[in-house]
Amino acid sequence: MADKGNGAVSGQKDLADWKLSPDWADWHWQLAHRITRPEEAARLLGLPEGALAGAAQAAETYPMAVTPYYLSLIDAKDANCPIRRMAIPDPAELNVTTDDIEDPSQEDSYSPLPAIIHRYPDRLLITGSLECATYCRHCFRKRKVGGKRENVSLADIRAGIAYIRENEAIRDVLISGGDPLMLNDDIIEDIVRELREIPHVELIRIGTRTPVTMPQRISDELLDRLKKYHPVWVNTHFNHPREFSPESERALARLADAGFPLGNQSVLLKGINDNVDTMRELIQLLVKNRVRPYYLYHCDYLPGLRHFRTPLSRGIELLEQLIGFTTGFAIPTYVIDAPGGGGKIPLAPDYFVKNAKDEIILKNFEGTHYPVHVTE
Ligand code: SF4
């Protein structure tokens, strides 16, 4: 794209022109036109000079890529726009504290092969790709995804499928990454078909943020190829109501209509979704779009994520403000991926008040106390 060289207005016009082009709906075009430099994002958004100071330095350590679609969701007038904070590098990513751990879940120690993370007895993760349509600034696999970091090879994926074939205890396989929908249709179909041919694999899940950052990827052709191998679940990653658009809602509807049960994993992010109104709107939008909110992750203790992290108590308080006040199955399980490789530990509000004779006292969502018999 030619640089028209006159700052804000020309950049915003480029983005508006792009949106009107038929190419906008083509995921290959979206990928090919990803914005990889903060100054390019600033120009397209019409931000004043210096608005993204320090972003380039952060992008040298943790690469930047944003699809034109996801960039177009940014409110250029709002310096704290949640989409901007999740997509544009921030110098705070270079801050490291003594609590930070590069691989807090110790995934590497549960990785018998380059493409496999095998933490739980009956299920595992196979990496399809370590690339993503947009590199999230809050990514918990920052050490592995994007830029010049080594991607998994097709040979690694084949070795991973062979490992699954040999391990009869594996009944549930999550294809993740990075984002496995960065692979072309032929390769992702091959992976899903080969997994489906393994008799002990009951469940196949695909973890992808493309419905959020590049919904054009959810094409009819892709769905026609994958729906032959049901049950295939799709887990996605919406964090904020502003990530819903006509395009993302269409992608979710297509997936649901094609028979893919949909789940969502959010990350609790300070200043983005750590207030009850935002979280309620997010989970209600998800269920309205036939997506079950599944996990709400406590933000990991990773270098450069401190500015996104809330106290652990914040997630519990949020659940307390949601349980009973909205649809039960809209409420995600709040989990912490225990530092040290302990796996996911659920955290929930405590409704127990005290023990009484043959009874316990519980409180309900409104705080009213009720005695409950503890014997039959
Ligand atoms: S899509 Fe997932 S793996 Fe990729 S950068 Fe975002 S959080 Fe990380």
Look at residue 344 and tell me whether its pLDDT is greater than 60.
yes
Identify whether 160 is part of a domain.
yes
Whole-number pLDDT of residue 4: 38
- 89 and 140: one domain? no
Whole-number pLDDT of residue 10: 62
Whole-number pLDDT of residue 100: 84
> pLDDT tens digits for 288-310?
999 999 999 999 999 999 999 99
For ligand 1, mutation pick of 64, 83, 117, 141 (most atoms within 8 Å of CB): 141
Look at residue 1 and tell me whether its pLDDT is greater than 60.
no
Distance, CA of 228 to CA of 246 (rounded, Å): 27
Sorting pLDDT into bands at 50, 70 and 90, what band is 130?
A: very high
Average pLDDT, the chain: 94
Question: What are the distances in angstroms from CA 203 to CA 134, 191, 229?
Answer: 27, 13, 10
Atom of ligand 1 at shortest distance to CA of 131? 4
Say which residue, 341 or 59, is predicted with more confidence: 59
Q: Which phi and psi (to 5°) does residue 153 adopt?
A: -95, 170
Is 47:55 a contact under the CB 8 Å cutoff? no
- 235 and 326: one domain? yes
Which pTM value belongs to this model? 0.94
Q: For residue 129, give the CATH number of its domain.
A: 3.20.20.70
Identify whether 366 is part of a domain.
no
Whole-number pLDDT of residue 358: 87
Catalytic residue positions, numbered: 119-120, 123, 132, 136, 139, 141, 300, 337, 344
Identify whether 372 is part of a domain.
no
Which of 94, 126, 152 delimits the end of a domain?
94
Range of the domain at 197: 107-347
Is 324:364 a contact under the CB 8 Å cutoff? yes
Look at residue 114 and tell me whether its pLDDT is greater than 90.
yes
Q: Which phi and psi (to 5°) does residue 315 adopt?
A: -65, -40
> Ligand 1 pocket, 135 CB below 6 A?
yes
> Ligand 1 pocket, 144 CB below 6 A?
no
Look at residue 249 and tell me whether its pLDDT is greater than 60.
yes
